Chains A and B, each alone.
Chain A
Amino acid sequence: MAIESSRREPDLDSTRLFNITVWEGIQYKFAKDLGIAIKVISEDENINTEESNFSDFYQLLISTPQGQKYVDVGINSFDKEAQFVNLYADCIYYNKSTYFYGKKFYILVGIKNRTPNPELVKKLSKELDIDYDKLLKAYNSIPTFNEERLMSLGDLIVDLFNIVIELSVQEYTTQVANKQKEEEIAKMSALMEASIIINSTRNLDELLKIIMQSAEKVMQAEASSVFLIDSERNELYFEIATGPKEKELKQIRLKMGEGIAGYVAYTGESVLVPDVSKDPRFAKRVDEQTKFITRSVICVPLKVRNQTIGVVQVLNKITGASFSKSEIKFLEALASQAAIAIENANLYEHLEERAEQLNKELKEANINLSIEKLRIESIIQSMEDAVIAIDKENKVVLVNRVAEKIFNINASHAFGVEISNFKINQTVIDNFRVVLDSKVTIKNEVKFHFGNKEHIFAAVFTPIVGEKKEAAGSVAVFRDITEIKELDKMKSEFLNMVSHELRTPLTPIQAYSELMLIRNMDSEKVKSYAEIINKETQRLGSLIGDLLDLSRIESGKGLSLTLEEVDVINFLKDIYEMYKNTSQKHKIILTVPEKSEIILFDKNKMSQVMINLLSNAIKYSPDGGNINIIMEDKNDRIYITVKDEGIGISKEDLPRIFEKFYRVQSEAVRKISGTGIGLPIVKYIIELHNGDIEVKSELGKGSEFTFYIPKIKPT
């Protein structure tokens, strides 16, 4: 693997790069499979290489065959300057230094030497408390290499380390991006939470407090408060204050326009003050009275129907940083929720007067509710996903039809029975328990058997939270994603094959064009190189043509035919001429009737069909043999057969070979490149001509593709 010398070095915190575990995983694999220890040591003490490395070589060697046990025999010394370091009697190290992101690293690769040292094995067997013979056997099973091989391994690992660093940088960058996303999500969910509380709690004080606490949590603030305007006295008073000085604050009143809160109440505009000591609007009086030190403030108005009724104020980030502009938006959103809460509370006062009327309405609502309940139940029952719900005692309260089928549970018998009594995948039962205990949502993939097949499900376990925030139960929804997963696999295999197929003709094109540029050669050679480039360009063109055809078929646009008068025998003879010398291992035989027919079809598309069938016949008979092209003229149809003596197709695969992207999953086929789009296009083109194609085949004996098209005579 070539190392790019002009590697881009982004501005990253290099101490964090090595905390990413990509390297450790690969390292562990090397150790496990090959008995090699890799140690990366940085000269820069700030870079923590311990975390991404196993602490010592012996620990690895011994833990590998044993699987679990780790032991520390305490050898950590190494000589940076030496080419080889004999740490212990029977192991050798290869040491190489390299630079990454401007820092020097030493990469040590250790392997076992030719023979184990019986003394050391004895010592280790004592310390590990493992039978001597067993340990010696495990030790012997580690492959040995000579020094030359070790050095080439060492070089390769340094190459690999470069790649891993690249991956780490990529992963680090996505982690940074993900973190920003998470913060956004935290803000969103705080807002959601606030709006849920507003709709469920009637106690205004408690409600405002909860809103302010969630603001503090998300914004990482030290304190927060809600002021309301007393319009009779033209003053502001603390309705709610959280933080250390709650009691003192409640006794303080501010004049309209006094301090930052007064300013916001007066103007109705939000204000962000990064440093209050530099802002003349700040009222020192409050800090002096409460002995609180305000550093930075965000203050937003509370508005009901465009009228300012108070302000919300958040003070001091815990981290010492100042607030950001995006946080104003968040606080404004929270303030509008708080304003709704205050208004709701005011309305509630009037509600009591209407209690009687409400009672009446409630009865109606009850009827509506039971209708609603029925509706929701029928939705859950008819869902394509499986749903199971349990109460806080782990007892089943709901099983929908799909769940009955998948888990083999009878819903009417299941009700009130503890979930662990059913024969259900242990992961599912564990997940239910975790959700109940910790009130978190769990999303994962679960596999289980039903209907003679393993299915993969995307499962979501959500807690049901009661009014007092206690866990009241849990709901799990399972969606069958087996097919999606299969499609996904087929898609990535297809992309892999396409990239391989595209690179194959591209390779000679690049190589020969570069040779023409950098070498002096006679015109004959230039011509022969150009011929190769030309041929491979045509091949690339036809592959891209196939891909475009497929995407036209996929998008529903379809292919259109350009019919012309064609002499079928001449048409086949041309194809035969084109192919007769392409392979030395194959003999191509063309059999046609005596009398030719002139009929209408799309000559280009039909050539595409023949080219696809013939290249398949050649490709899938790697040992060579005869390839027969047979034309038959029967009544009103022309039949054409392409028959090879190659590897053949199994009974199981036969019905699927015309599916797009489908490739036979056998060892023999895996080694032959192909995209799985040729045959679907062949079938499509033949059907477009009102014909049909079928295939006969036997494994190891060859395949026979026969298609017909109706004879349409030119008028």
Chain B
Amino acid sequence: MMDKKKIVVADDEPFILSALQDTLSEQYNVYTATNGKLAIEEVRNVKPDLIILDIMMPEMDGLEACKILKREKDTSTIPIILLTAKGQITDIEKGFKSGADAYVVKPFSPARLIEKVEEIFEKVEMRKKIIDEKKKNL
């Protein structure tokens, strides 16, 4: 049997964090953090397949954490979903600049969140295949 995929989730609201955990833990191994700094530490330890970050967090917010993770060689290719209560285009632009791969707007539907996560994993698989084939052809 294949190993379960690993996801790091970060949110400062305890019940939102537990909701994320309860939503995802059936299919994935979920690791939690309560701010951007702790999320980065967790990512370095766990080396997850996906990261979900809330934008507004104390200590270090999600955008900043996202920027740092996308700059580091070891973590730059891990897809990041930003979790935001705002849906404005300026936030999306900011998120895009910080390197995020997708957005989920709060309040979220667990079923849709799982769909989104699976969609991202499929995309990653597809890209890997294309790049492998390119390498083969070279």
Contact = CB atoms under 8 A, between A and B. Distances in A.
B22 interface: yes
B13 A147 contact: no
B46 interface: no
Interface string B78-121: 01000001100100110011000111111111111000100000
Given A148-B131, A149-B77, A504-B13, A514 B85 contact: no
A510 B107 contact: yes
20 contacts: A29-B93, A148-B131, A151-B127, A152-B79, A152-B123, A156-B96, A156-B102, A503-B85, A504-B13, A504-B85, A507-B15, A507-B19, A507-B85, A510-B108, A511-B107, A515-B23, A518-B111, A536-B15, A622-B58, A671-B57
Nearest to B128: A148
B92 A511 contact: no
A469 to B, nearest CB: 46
B58 A671 contact: yes
B101 A512 contact: no
A671 B61 contact: yes
B101 to A, nearest CB: 5
Nearest to B89: A163
Contact of B96 (A83, A160, A504, A622): A160
Contacts of B106: 503-504, 506-507
Contacts of B29: none
Contacts of A147: 127, 131, 134
A673 B106 CA distance: 15
A443 interface: no
B102 A508 contact: no
A163 B96 CA distance: 14
Contact of A672 (B58, B92, B102, B111): B58
Contacts of B79: 152
A166 B13 CA distance: 32
B38 interface: no
Given A83-B130, A155-B123, A504-B85, A671 B59 contact: yes
Interface string A492-519: 0000100110011111111110110011
Nearest to B104: A2
A512 B19 contact: yes
Contacts, number: 108
Contact of B102 (A1, A167, A500, A505): A1
Contacts of A152: 79, 101, 123, 127
Given A507-B16, A508-B15, A2 B111 contact: no
Nearest to A525: B22
Contacts of A33: 97
A700 B59 CA distance: 14
Interface residues of B, number: 42
Contacts of A519: 26
A506 B107 contact: yes
A322 B10 CA distance: 65
Given A155-B123, A499-B86, A514 B97 contact: no
B56 interface: yes
A622 B56 CA distance: 14
A508 B18 contact: yes
Interface string B39-83: 000000000000000001111010000000000000011010000
A489 interface: no
A114 interface: no
B101 A622 contact: no
Contacts of A535: 15
Given A507-B16, A671-B59, A148 B107 contact: no
Interface of B: 13, 15-16, 18-20, 22-23, 26, 56-59, 61, 76-77, 79, 85-86, 89, 92-93, 96-97, 101-112, 116, 123, 127, 130-131, 134
Contacts of B26: 519
Interface in A649-700: 671-673
Contact of A511 (B85, B97, B110, B134): B110
Contact of A34 (B57, B97, B104): B97
A509 B107 contact: yes
A532 B92 contact: no
Given A510-B109, A511-B110, 16 more contacts: A1-B105, A2-B105, A148-B131, A151-B123, A152-B79, A152-B127, A160-B96, A499-B85, A506-B106, A507-B16, A508-B15, A510-B108, A519-B26, A671-B57, A671-B58, A672-B58
A80 to B, nearest CB: 18
A576 to B, nearest CB: 21
A130 interface: no
Contacts of B23: 511, 515
Contacts of A509: 107
Given A152-B79, A152-B101, A671 B110 contact: no
Interface in A53-90: 83
A188 interface: no
B16 A504 contact: yes
Contacts of A163: 89, 92
B37 to A, nearest CB: 11
Contacts of A149: 76-77
Contacts of A589: none
A127 B124 CA distance: 41
A365 to B, nearest CB: 60
Contacts of B107: 503, 506-507, 509-511
Contacts of A500: 56, 85-86
A163 B103 CA distance: 13
A155 B96 CA distance: 11
Given A500-B85, A508-B18, A514 B109 contact: yes
B43 to A, nearest CB: 17
Contacts of B57: 671
A97 B59 CA distance: 41
Interface string A601-622: 0000000000000000000001
Given A1-B92, A33-B97, A148-B127, A511 B59 contact: no
Contacts of B89: 163, 167
